Amino acid sequence: MFNRTLCAPFALSLLILSGCSSTAPSPQVKQLHQEVSQLSQQMQQLTGQAEALETQGQLNSQAAQGAWLLPLAKTPVLLQTQLGEIRLSLGQVKGDVEGSRVDLTLSSSNHQPLPALSASVVWGELDPTSGKPLNASSQQQTLVIPASLTPQSSVTVPLHLGGLAPEQLGFIRVHDVMSNGEPLTH
């Protein structure tokens, strides 16, 4: 008897609610659902960017020389050199026939002209679990900025990063910066 007393109102409530849910949602409700979905996507992007920014900061705080850039962080990094600080920033990563391409901008933080220089550029994936660089599968190339592009306080050069699609590219590391045969990094 006790169960029937509780079950009857419960069943009646379910019947009423099922009738309410069968009506078509209004345009306002559809719009609200769409806005919630967009906000959810933006939150996921911002969360990913915050995590990448934190990882980028940790990598650079532990680096003895060179600078780490994580495309998802979308934040410039300062590289300490004998000529002063060089600000490194990445453009949007795009697909390429052989992998990815991205513009790397090097800027003098004191607005003095940059010299002709070369640097090693390493790129690769991040471990999906730890967020740390997977050095075993990383690739490297030498970047040369000739005197014909300098003296300017800022230079943008295209990087062609083979072997990884844009969504796989987890990090870019710039190190062993040289000018006139002299190392610039500490």
pLDDT tens column, 14-53: 555 555 555 677 888 888 888 888 888 899 888 888 888 8
> What is the C-alpha separation between 154 and 113, in angstroms, rounded?
8
Mean pLDDT of 99-114: 89
pLDDT at 131: 84
pLDDT at 112: 82
pLDDT tens column, 81-100: 666 689 999 999 999 888 99
The whole-model pTM stands at 0.75
3-class SS of residue 120: strand
